[in-house]
Amino acid sequence: MWIVFSFGSALFAGITSILAKCGIRKTDSTVATAIRTIVVLAFSWLMVFVVGSQNQMGSIGGKTLLFLILSGLATGASWLCYFKALQLGDINKVVPIDKSSTILTILLAFIFLQERISLPKAVGVVLIAIGTFFMIEKKDANPNQERGKSWMAYAVGSAVFASLTSILGKVGISGVESNLGTAIRTGVVLVMAWGMVFVTRKQHTIRNISKKELGFICLSGLATGGSWLCYYKALQDGLASVVVPIDKLSILVTVVFSYFVFHERLSKKSILGLAAIIAGTLVMLIP
């Protein structure tokens, strides 16, 4: 059943990227992240009460709570980097780099969780690395060189923090119901996101957000909530080194929607890269 939750996570995550891109055309990415986190938090706590896990809060151990907080901090950093990269760069370039966190996650799972790296996983890592390299080819049409360089730095930061999120989250939810764990760590993300808004003094821009972009930001929050609930349920029941690659198939959903919504076309080299990433992800599912 955890395989089904993994694919559900991929579907919602792919939709999230598109909705978020629509919501940050003019809205500052940090402010958008803070607003959408409110939606995710509400969604997360709703699920806590639906499954009745709120009574477990008093029994959460110190170690579990610590790792949930650390996971939340890593998630917050990943989100801030990711949505800044989306605002500055081409979605078909940003997403592959973000999804390359699979490689680091597998290595960290091997080191800290003792999850073995089989031959299929090793082959998958190589294919994903090659595919990512092909998909982030320089876009000659980009007239702004400074923006062209900065989006990649943010995208790489997003990937690094995302991999840390997976490992810390796996440890954190080992002693707590997955929905409750998701809700707690989302609270940490909320505090971090709004802290960044006030530190950078961008709170005054909230009143200038259009209703259309606000709607897309909120919808992206709902999609994220659905993705998280599926993702951490899958993590709780399955192997992190398998759940994470499946979740990264969201890149296929994102690429398809970006073609129809933003009219972003892939070059032949990028198509080969996408095929390599998908092939590498599927290879990792081989026992």
Domain ranges of the chain: 2-283
Report the range of poorest mean pLDDT among 58-67, 78-87, 207-216.
58-67
Cβ pair 32, 23 in contact under 8 A: yes
Distances (CA, A) of 101 to 11, 14, 192, 242: 18, 15, 22, 13
Q: Which residue shows structure tokens 């129809």? A: 260
Count Cα neighbours of 163 within 13 Å in the Cβ-side half-sphere.
22
280 has pLDDT over 90? no
Q: Per mean pLDDT, which of 30-34, 163-167, 180-184, 244-248 is the most reliable?
A: 30-34
**Residue 207, pLDDT above cutoff 70:** yes
d(CA 153, CA 7): 28
| Nearest alpha carbon to residue 237 among 154, 160, 167, 178 | 178
Selected residue with higher pLDDT from 248 and 213: 213
Task: Give dist(CA 233, CA 225) in Å, integer.
Answer: 12
pLDDT at 251 over 80: yes
Q: For the whole model, what pTM was predicted?
A: 0.79
CA 280 → CA 98, 129, 155, 284, 285, distances in Å? 15, 9, 20, 6, 9
Query: Which string of DSSP letters, residue by residue, matches 263-285?
Result: -PPPPHHHHHHHHHHHHHHHHTT
pLDDT tops 50 at residue 143: no
**pLDDT beyond 70 at 245:** yes
pLDDT for 32 equals 95
Which range, of 2-16, 29-43, 80-94, 171-185, averages the lowest pLDDT? Answer: 171-185
**Span of 20-29, 72-81, 212-221, 253-262 with lowest mean pLDDT:** 253-262
More confident residue, 216 or 280: 216
Tell me the CA distances in angstroms from 186 to 41, 191, 204, 286, one per residue in order. Answer: 6, 9, 24, 32
